[in-house]
Structure 1
Amino acid sequence: ISENDYKIEVALAGYSKGDIELELKDSTLTVRNKAKEKIVNEDSNEVIHKGISTRQFERAFTISEDIKIKDAELNNGLLNIDLERIVPEEKRARLISIN
């Protein structure tokens, strides 16, 4: 993490890589799950206690046009999205010499 490198971390315990969808549209990065919520009959003996939720979710982040996604990795229930700010030459600060 530096002046031009950023990280987004999203806790996604109980989800696998195939359950998660990342979408970048215009300046919005959206994280959502693709899996449908499993309906469990409360009268059945299927589940005694469910400590991790698997309901539908969606989280959106607004990012600048000069931010590029370098990598995304799901590891031990934590989604890490690495971002890099690429500033065009004409927008970079520059020193001007005084004559």
Structure 2
Amino acid sequence: MRTIDLSPLYRSFIGSDHLASLIDAASRAEKQSTYPPYNIELLDDDKYRVTMAVAGFSKEDVTIEVQENTLTITGKKATEDKEATERKFLHKGISERNFERKFQLGDHVKVLAADMENGLLHIDMERVIPEAKKPRQIEIGSRLLENN
């Protein structure tokens, strides 16, 4: 296990405790299962797509939830019916086990849409920075008036 000394950050940055918690969460995420496999794509400057291979799962078996800055994708198969338990496999390479995968979203990243096609789940996201957070230029000698 790697340890990272963050003390230089604490001397240089205000609010770096948030960065430390993100690094800690990332190190915990490395210990997660690799099932199901997924891709993260950068579609445009502020547009992203997570594509997850969910073979054997239907739309009803998969739930997608966003809470605070965490995207959680859960797949739960309904209890197996009698026909499925009677099947005999010579080789079973398609894993249909339950899963939960969590992704830490950056600030202002919003989930736009989700779609499932050909055994792949696509989740589209976009970073939408509010006007109040965008940089603005201040003229020298000007006064900013507060809105009352």
CA RMSD of aligned residues (A): 2.3
Q: What's the counterpart of residue 23 of structure 1?
A: 65
Runs of 4+ in 1 over 4 A off after TM superposition: 95-99
Q: What's the counterpart of residue 47 of structure 1?
A: 88
Kept after mapping to 1: 8 A contact 2:61/2:78: no
Please, which runs of 5 or more residues in structure 1 have no aligned partner? Answer: none
State the TM-score, normalizing by the size of structure 1.
Answer: 0.80
Aligned positions of 1:4-83 closer than 5 A: 4-36=46-78, 38=80, 46-48=87-89, 49-83=91-125
Structure 2 residue matching 1:18: 3-state secondary structure: helix
Please, which runs of 5 or more residues in structure 2 have no aligned partner? Answer: 1-42, 142-148
The whole-number CA distance in structure 2 between the counterparts of 1:57 and 1:35 is: 9
Choose between structure 1 and 2: higher helix proportion. 2
Question: How many residues are treated as equivalent by the alignment?
Answer: 96
Kept after mapping to 1: 8 A contact 2:61/2:77: yes
- Which amino acid in 2 is paired with 1:23? E
Q: Percent identity?
A: 40
